[in-house]
């Protein structure tokens, strides 16, 4: 059980490294004007999304699900229901990042760098909410 929790947390950190850094790359990419810089950002973004962030997310969800199966009584608690709702938002955010990756790949980014700065704040709020729910289990 503790092993499952340890790997759940290790992959959660990996996932969040990407969720924080990829939108930051989008900020700089949206400001870039020369072709070599834009091409370099495309490579960095693709590697981060497919090489780190997506495997981190899949493994976090996998180890989280294994923990939940091992302790199915948590399914009856309010904090877990709320955590799963916030998780759904996090998965939607991840998929949205993937859509933006394709937009940048085809040089059709629709947003300003200021928009990406705000976009970058969403995972901070979700991280705070989910970790407080999982550790304090307030209800």
Site for ligand HEM contains 77 (CB under 6 A): no
What residues from 82 to 121 belong to the interface with ligand HEM (CB under 6 A)?
Answer: 87, 90
Nearest C-alpha neighbor of 91 from the set 37, 24, 40, 19 = 19
131 is a site residue for ligand HEM (CB under 6 A):
yes
User: Within 10 A of 134 (CB to CB), how many other CB atoms are there?
Assistant: 17
- 47 or 85: whose CB is closer to ligand HEM? 85
Question: By CB under 6 A, which span of 5-13, 28-36, 41-49, 107-115 interacts with ligand HEM?
Answer: 5-13
- In the complex, the smallest distance separating the C-beta of residue 69 from ligand HEM, rounded to whole angstroms, is 8
Closest alpha carbon to 126 in 77, 93, 78:
93
Cβ-based nearer residue to ligand HEM, 32 or 127? 127
Interface with ligand HEM includes 72 (CB under 6 A)? no
**How big is the chain, counted in residues?**
139
Binding mask 38-67 for ligand HEM (x = CB under 6 A): ----------------------xx--xx-x
| 40 Cβ contact partners less than 8 Å away, ≥ 6 residues apart | none
Comparing CA positions, the residue from 52, 49, 61 lying closest to residue 90 is 61
d(CA 45, CA 106): 13
Q: For residue 130, give both structure tokens.
A: 């989910």
Residues that bind ligand HEM (CB under 6 A): 5, 8-9, 12, 60-61, 64-65, 67-68, 71, 74, 87, 90, 127, 130-131, 134-135
């Amino acid at each position: 059980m503790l092993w499952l929790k340890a790997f759940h947390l290790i992959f959660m950190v990996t996932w969040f490294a990407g969720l924080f850094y990829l939108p930051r790359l989008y900020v700089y990419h949206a400001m870039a004007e020369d072709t070599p810089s834009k091409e370099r950002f495309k490579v960095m973004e693709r590697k981060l999304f497919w090489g780190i962030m997506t495997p981190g997310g899949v493994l976090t969800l996998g180890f989280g699900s294994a923990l939940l199966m091992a302790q199915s009584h948590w399914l009856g608690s309010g904090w877990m229901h709320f955590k799963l709702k916030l998780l759904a938002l996090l998965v939607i955010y991840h998929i949205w990042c993937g859509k933006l990756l394709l937009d940048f790949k085809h040089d059709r980014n629709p947003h300003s760098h200021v928009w990406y700065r705000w976009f970058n704040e969403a995972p901070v709020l979700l991280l705070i909410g989910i970790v407080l729910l999982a550790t304090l289990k307030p209800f």
